[in-house]
Amino acid sequence: GESVGLHLPTLSVQEGDNSIINCAYSNSASDYFIWYKQESGKGPQFIIDIRSNMDKRQGQRVTVLLNKTVKHLSLQIAATQPGDSAVYFCAEHLYNFNKFYFGSGTKLNVKP
């Protein structure tokens, strides 16, 4: 399988601060990337996605940046809230195989 890794296994931030979660992917042929949030005991929840022909995409309080040169993906969360506390996964999609491979996850702790 392909390898998708995360630089930081845990991240603690103060409520109101911005959070940045990083991810490295290994396959330059990946065409699509998704960030998911997973709360304890629940399935992953879609946050934001980005295609390989883009380098930035913004959602509500979240921004995903894609740097294909170094195969790096990041998720930025603005004004982090306690409800953002969860594990965040990045996933890369290999179009030819129609499969997603997930990174190891980063746990985000938001301190009130």
- Least distance (Å) from another protein to the CB of residue 104? 5
Positions in 77-96 near another protein (CB under 8 A)? 89, 93, 95
Positions in 10-39 near another protein (CB under 8 A)? 31-32, 34, 36
| Closer to another protein by Cβ: residue 19 or 93 | 93
Q: What is the 3-state secondary structure (H, E, C) of 31-51?
A: CEEEEEEECCCCCCEEEEEEE
Q: Which of 19, 35, 85, 101 binds another protein (CB under 8 A)?
A: 101
- From residue 46 to residue 65, what is the string marking binding to another protein with x (rule CB under 8 A)? x--x----------------
27 Cβ contact list (under 8 Å, min separation 6): 2, 71, 92, 94
